Amino acid sequence: MIEPPKTQTAAGAQQPAPLRISRAFPASRAQLFMAWTSADHVKRWFSPETYTVTDATVQMGLGGRFDVRMRGPYGAPRLMKGKFVEIIPYGRIAIDLDIFDAELNPLFRTHTAVTFTDDVIGARMDLAQSFTFVDPAMSTPMVWGASEGWRTALDKLHAELTRIRGGGQGRPVAHRTFQLERIYDAPVARVWAALTDETAKSKWFREPPEQWELMERIMDVRVGGRERLRGRWKNGVVSTFDAAYYDVIPNERLVYTYETSLDDARISVSLATTELRAQGARTILTLTEQGAFIDGYHDASSRQYGAGLMLDALGASLTD
């Protein structure tokens, strides 16, 4: 069901009311959520029928990029640049987008909130999209066509979900290696404590407390030791981080493996190395990670983005 936008007056200018869409798919909530949060999937469906996506960047994490470049039937490009402003695994996402014309002039902005729920045939997607005009003369025709554009895009989404369920995709695994570096204005011993002391690490290694409730935290940083962080999101989904330590050299190096899960589904397995070295009174931290991302759930670039956010949070905790 699609309710097309209706025009309303705001501050003397004609502005469209939010567009609302509700549609059920023969897929799980996890698969539907995955189709929205992985660049590999977004490239295949996030465009109207006569358009194709030529490039997409999706960094699943608060503030992460959601950029889509598409091309129309006559070659005219269109660019959307945005970011995630809300993420609840399997439950809800919200994205703020700026839409540009072929000359990169801003046309309008959208706020798109998508809620995922169980449905008798699989999963339901409820979408609400609001619009703010930058150039009303250019934007109005595009916004009025949004409902039809979404209808054909969701037909593509249906086809992509069929692919995800096994229609030619099977059980994929993607691999990614990345390296991140941060310089902290703190001595090595303090950074080491932030990585290995349970009280210190709990200040930065966690999900947003307003959306996530801690269920279990275990930390034993030694060769053969384990670390486990488990919590429930407000929509009931349980996320788990489960790690094993293989090399622990105080104030110098940690080597460990970890797996992440949502409910009973394992979504990634990684090998990570964290190295510290002094630079005067400061510390250089280098994180190297090799990850296997299972069954198409994670776009690998999202893990790199999320790891960077965590390292920034670590740095902020050192100022307390």
pLDDT tens-digit profile of 245-266? 999 999 999 999 999 999 988 8
Examine the domain organization and report whether 238 and 307 are in the same domain: yes
Residue 218 neighbours by CB under 8 Å, 6+ apart: 226, 227, 228
Rounded mean pLDDT of 185-202?
Answer: 97
Examine the domain organization and report whether 144 and 237 are in the same domain: no
Examine the domain organization and report whether 159 and 10 are in the same domain: yes
Examine the domain organization and report whether 190 and 110 are in the same domain: no
Taking each helix axis from N to C terminus, what angle separates 146-164 and 136-144, rounded to the nearest 10 degrees? 50
| 202: CATH | 3.30.530.20
β partners of residue 270: 258, 291
> In the predicted model, is pLDDT for residue 296 greater than 70?
no
Q: Which of residues 108 and 138 earns the better pLDDT score?
A: 108
Residue 209 neighbours by CB under 8 Å, 6+ apart: none
Examine the domain organization and report whether 23 and 141 are in the same domain: yes
Which of 108, 129, 164 is the last residue before a domain boundary? 164
pLDDT digits (tens, 9 = 90+) for 49-97: 888 999 999 998 889 999 999 988 777 788 999 999 999 999 999 999 9
Examine the domain organization and report whether 180 and 312 are in the same domain: yes
For residues 232 and 213, is the Cβ–Cβ distance under 8 A? yes
Examine the domain organization and report whether 177 and 160 are in the same domain: no
Please write down the long-range contacts of 43-52, taking CB distance under 8 Å and 24 or more positions apart. 44/156, 44/159, 44/160, 44/163, 45/153, 45/156, 45/157, 45/159, 45/160, 46/70, 46/153, 46/156, 47/153, 47/156, 48/148, 48/149, 48/152, 48/153, 49/152, 49/153, 49/155, 49/156, 50/152, 51/78
pLDDT digits (tens, 9 = 90+) for 195-243: 999 999 999 999 988 899 999 999 999 999 999 999 999 989 999 999 9
Name the residue type at position 20: R
Examine the domain organization and report whether 76 and 177 are in the same domain: no
**Residue 177 domain boundaries:** 173-317
Examine the domain organization and report whether 212 and 139 are in the same domain: no
H or E stretch covering 286: strand 282-294
- How far apart, in whole angstroms, are the C-alpha atoms of residue 92 and residue 94? 7
Please write down the long-range contacts of 191-196, taking CB distance under 8 Å and 24 or more positions apart. 191/276, 191/283, 191/285, 191/314, 191/318, 192/250, 192/251, 192/276, 194/314, 194/317, 194/318, 195/221, 195/254, 195/274, 195/314, 196/221, 196/248, 196/254
pLDDT digits (tens, 9 = 90+) for 132-181: 887 666 556 666 677 888 999 999 999 999 888 775 455 677 888 999 99
pLDDT of residue 24: 96
Examine the domain organization and report whether 85 and 158 are in the same domain: yes
Which of 119, 141, 164 is the last residue before a domain boundary? 164
Examine the domain organization and report whether 200 and 283 are in the same domain: yes
pLDDT of residue 257: 98
In order of 125, 151, 175, 291, the CA distances from 2 in angstroms are 11, 8, 38, 39
Name the residue type at position 196: T
H or E stretch covering 200: helix 198-201
In order of 51, 223, 268, 269, 313, the CA distances from 173 in angstroms are 28, 29, 9, 10, 29
pLDDT tier, 288 (very low <50, low <70, confident <90, very high otherwise): very high
| DSSP 8-state class, residue 172 | -
Q: Which of residues 145 and 123 earns the better pLDDT score?
A: 123
Instruction: Give me the number of domains the chain comprises.
Output: 2
Q: How many CA atoms lie within 13 A of 157 on its CB side?
A: 26
Which of 110, 142, 164 is the last residue before a domain boundary? 164
Examine the domain organization and report whether 91 and 144 are in the same domain: yes
Q: Which of 211, 277, 220, 219 is nearest to 239 (CA)?
A: 211
pTM of the model: 0.82
